[in-house]
Amino acid sequence: MVFRSVKITLLSAVMFFCSQVVAFQSTVATSMITPARQTSALHSSLDPLGPSRNAASSPEMKKKDLRTFQRFLEVECWKNGEIRNLDRTLLAVADACKQINRIVQRAQTDDLYGAAVDPLTGELAEENVQGEVQQQLDVLCNTIMLRAFCGASNNVVCAVASEEEPLPRSCADVMGYDTSEFNILQSGEYVAVFDPIDGSKNIDSSLPVGTVFGIYRVPDGASAGKDGVNLDNFLQRGTKMVAAGYCLYSATTVLVLTLGSGVHGFTLDPDKQKFLQTHPNMRIPGIGSLYSFNEANYREFSEPVQKFLTNMKQAGAIGGKKVSSRYVGALVADVHNVLINGGIYGYPATRDNVNGKLRLLYESAPMAMIMEQAGGAGSTGHGRILDVLPPQRKKNSGHKKSDVEPDDDEAGKGIHVRVPTFLGSVENVYELEQCFKYYGEEDN
Ligand code: F6P
């Protein structure tokens, strides 16, 4: 009996011990699992893709209720009869920006790099009009923009000029239409100019790049020209532009657009792949403390520009903010920074490049229109960029103005004409022009 009770006690002790071991093991197991669970819970709240799946339930990452670019265009184009039929074209341009954004994002991982190769001959591409060997990426982005402007189904754009092409092209040519079948060359009320990928060297070091574009109305009564290109339709003052914009591929992808009544900014929602109106009615500060010049060229700048920069630095602070220099080396990125924060962007004439580096038609003029529409200014140092008339064709007697004349190749270079460029807050640009007045040479 005593023996039996000892046996029971021993059995209970063993059972108790076993239960403790199980409890201990499960505690250990829990304590080993818990941190991992906690970590994964933590990760899921920080997971950049997580919130898109739980957008509604995650208060930190809740989507803002923003107007889409499409809706904006529908309303703006409906309000303004002048540009009523441009909405599809501009939507196509926004889509092109999305495509270029994806290409830029993949530039390091996908085989898009290197000089372009002629698909027929297999030979490396030659230098473009800018004296640079075209890269695959340039060719691809150029094709995307050409098709955006020419392929929008309502054919409102009749011809296009690109930084990547020596001469403008008709949309019929771009789209490969059979021009003998119907009068496609005569259709289209606008011409478009663009730089598909501005500052493309920045891609090597994962820095921002951009796309710039402008749209001009074909003057009343102007003919489509031989083969659908009338150079006169391109060689117009910037004041004749009906729309200008840029896309910036940077920390965020941004589309900034003016249709001649203010400037609006849209950010690409990476989850929805839609441009949303994050910056309605953009206004540049009247004065700013930021200057954005390639100061390595300082000794090559003219005296007025040198004086202006020295004055800015000596001021120490402007508008209550410390003077600061910022230069990314991509026009779109630098100008966007100035537009948001105020100040001045400049690419002045240098000793070697008497007209600076930037192209009037598809860089300086669209940016100047955006600046002016945002309450800022765009100047050559001596006057408004938008008033600059590109070099005109020689009017040979015996030829009608609309005909392509023997000197058109030469005149076509007017498409790529350069102009000293200063863009920014009104007060800063005014100061700059004053420097040209007081320190400039007589013949300026
Ligand atoms: O289009 C010319 C461009 O790439 C601009 O985007 C940019 O502002 C400029 O050249 C930079 O030139 P630089 O390297 O001479 O400062």
Q: What's the CA-to-centroid distance between 293 and ligand 1, angstroms?
A: 10
Q: Do 354 and 417 form a contact (C-beta atoms < 8 A)?
A: no
Q: What's the CA-to-centroid distance between 296 and ligand 1, angstroms?
A: 13
Residue 170 has pLDDT above 60, yes or no: yes
Residue 241 CB less than 6 A away from ligand 1: no
pLDDT tens digit sequence for 54-112 = 444 555 678 888 999 999 999 999 988 888 889 999 999 999 999 999 999 988 888 77
Share of the chain above pLDDT 70, in %: 74
Hey, what amino acid is at 229? V
**Mean local confidence (pLDDT), 201-205:** 88
Residue 319 CB less than 6 A away from ligand 1: no
Which residue's alpha carbon is nearest to atom 14 within ligand 1? 329
pLDDT of residue 227: 74
DSSP 320-365: TEE-EE---S-HHHHHHHHHHH-EEEEE---SS-TT-S-BIIIIIH
In whole angstroms, how far apart are CA 254 and each of 137, 139, 362?
A: 20, 22, 18
Residue 353 CB less than 6 A away from ligand 1: no
Q: What's the CA-to-centroid distance between 66 and ligand 1, angstroms?
A: 33
* H/E stretch holding 157: strand 157-162
pLDDT of residue 414: 86
Q: What's the CA-to-centroid distance between 358 and ligand 1, angstroms?
A: 7
Ligand 1: atom nearest CA of 332 is: 6
**Mean local confidence (pLDDT), 37-51:** 46
Residue 331 CB less than 6 A away from ligand 1: yes
Which residue's alpha carbon is nearest to atom 11 within ligand 1? 329
Q: What is the largest CA-CA distance in the chain?
A: 136
Residue 198 CB less than 6 A away from ligand 1: yes
pLDDT band at 14 (very low <50, low <70, confident <90, very high): very low
Beta-carbon count within 10 A of 442 CB: 4
Angstrom distance (rounded) from CA 124 to CA 135: 10
pLDDT tens digit sequence for 99-149 = 999 999 988 888 776 666 665 566 666 666 666 666 788 889 999 999 999
In whole angstroms, how far apart are CA 8 and each of 3, 5, 13, 20, 144?
A: 9, 5, 8, 18, 86
Q: What's the CA-to-centroid distance between 199 and ligand 1, angstroms?
A: 6
Residue 329 CB less than 6 A away from ligand 1: yes
User: Domains in the chain, please, with CATH?
Assistant: 69-279 (3.30.540.10), 290-439 (3.40.190.80)
Residue 53 has pLDDT above 70, yes or no: no
